[in-house]
Amino acid sequence: MGIDLRWRSQTTPGRTGIPAFKLASNDRWLVTVREIDEALAAYASAPAELRTTLEADATWASWLAWLAVAREHGGFEAE
């Protein structure tokens, strides 16, 4: 019988995107495709000037690229 790991996929009720708590600890949280999609949609709705400024930062650009790859692989585990 397997261990129930559903707790690793929990979200914050009423909120969208990737919950900050999943990125702020090393508890092996699962970040789902839905959460990635919501985060990228929120980012896409930000003003173009803001996105241009953020994407000039190599770390931010790498994060966006990594999210796109992680999305294609079913999400990621944050630890």
What is the per-residue pLDDT across 48-60, written as a single tens digit (0 to 9) for each? 999 999 999 999 9
Residue type, 72: E
φ, ψ (nearest 5 deg) of residue 78: -100, 115
d(CA 8, CA 28): 7
The answer to whether position 68 is within a domain reads yes
Q: How far is CA 58 from the centre of its chain?
A: 18
d(CA 49, CA 75): 28
**Better-predicted residue by pLDDT, 14 or 76:** 76
Give the model's pLDDT for residue 13. Answer: 78
Q: Print the domain residue range for 33.
A: 19-78
Quick check: 5 pLDDT over 70? no
Quick check: 27 pLDDT over 90? no
Quick check: 12 pLDDT over 70? yes
The structural domain count of the chain equals 1
The answer to whether position 8 is within a domain reads no
The b-or-e profile of 46-55 (16+ CB within 10 A means b, else e) is eeeeeeeeee
